[in-house]
Amino acid sequence: MIRLEIVETLSDPGKADRANEDRFGFNEACAFVVDGATGLGDRQFMPGFGSDAAWIAQFAAERLARQLNATADVVQVIRGISTQARDTFLQTAGQQPRYAWPLAALAALHVSDTGLEFIGLGDSVVYLLHENGEAETFTALPHAFANEQAAARLHIERVGGIGVSGSAVNDPQTLEKLRRGRERQNTPEGTVWSLGLVPETADHLVRTKIHSNGSATALVCSDGLADLVSLYGRYDAASLVRRAAAEGLAPLFAELRHMEREVDPDGLTYPRYKQSDDTTAILLTIG
């Protein structure tokens, strides 16, 4: 039986005065990160979490940690979480526009009797380094980073930078564009499926078998840490995992914040929608 051994976990909010909208969890059969998407509604509906994105991330993480075991029907687990989240949200918030519905990205490693697999929705990532030096990247949306950077570049060029708020959603024109895109998520007309209030998301879950004849080291992370690879170009998959294994997660988190807040605080060189993103990672070994 394949074993997942957790080495280290770390989660850090993008801003000290905002809720961390990432969550992580693990059990003997899985390790996962859930990244709540920045809310685009006019107000918060779910009390006690700091934001609706933090609520959906917590809601999903608690249930994944309990339910995603070695014998779980993965599709039914995701369908059940989405159904329960929909009922809970609508009972509190009532009918709201789809852009106000909370949703999240998911990246997970899952062990069952048939082996090891990646499970994903949205843009969270697993970087895996085999003992022979071969590296693999697993994400449900391989083109998401390039697409978002291209869209963020247009925003930066129009408004001149991220601005003192640290987030593009404070610009009405960009907010309206983001809302139109969010409305299409988790619909047949869209291209992105996320963990949220739509049970049909379970039918679009990305699942990839992982083949390995030996041990491996992996990083399961939200797109914040993945920016060190996809946005800032500081690492490739192999070198990111190697540094995490050698020095731990804290130096990588510090390097990310240095790039965000000191090297390019206004997004002029590395275009993005927010100055600093919530960042979460699990470092583990597979044996």
**pLDDT tens readout for residues 45-60:** 999 999 999 999 999 9
In sequence order, what are the beta bridge partners of 24?
A: 33
CB atoms within 10 A of CB 113: 8
Q: Quick one: pLDDT band at residue 222, thresholds 50, 70, 90?
A: very high
Q: Is the pLDDT of residue 166 over 70?
A: no
What percentage of the chain has pLDDT greater than the value 90?
91
Q: What tokens does 137 get?
A: 């990247």
Number of alpha helices (DSSP H) and beta strands (DSSP E) in the chain: 7, 10
H helix or E strand, kind and range, residue 184: helix 172-184
pLDDT at 169 over 80: no
> Which pair of tokens denotes residue 194?
């996320």
| Cα R_g (the chain), whole angstroms | 18
| CATH, range 4-286 | 3.60.40.10
pLDDT of residue 213: 77
| Cα separation, 145 vs 227, whole angstroms | 8
Residue 214's pLDDT is 83
> Which token pair is 55?
């609520």
Instruction: Round to whole Å and give the CA distance between 81 and 77.
Output: 6
Is residue 131 within 8 A of residue 245, CB to CB? The reply is no
Write the Ramachandran bin of 19: left for phi over 0, alpha for psi from -120 to 50, otherwise beta: beta
State the pLDDT confidence band at 165, using cuts at 50, 70 and 90.
low
Q: Hey, what's the torsion of the CAs at 245, 249, 253, 254, to 10 degrees?
A: -90
Q: What are 178-197's pLDDT values in tens digits?
A: 999 999 999 999 999 999 99
> 167: pLDDT confidence band, cut at 50, 70 and 90?
confident
Check whether 7 has a pLDDT greater than 90.
yes
Using one digit for the tens of pLDDT, what is the confidence trace for 83-123?
999 999 999 999 999 999 999 999 999 999 999 999 999 99
C-alpha span between 256 and 278 (Å, rounded): 11
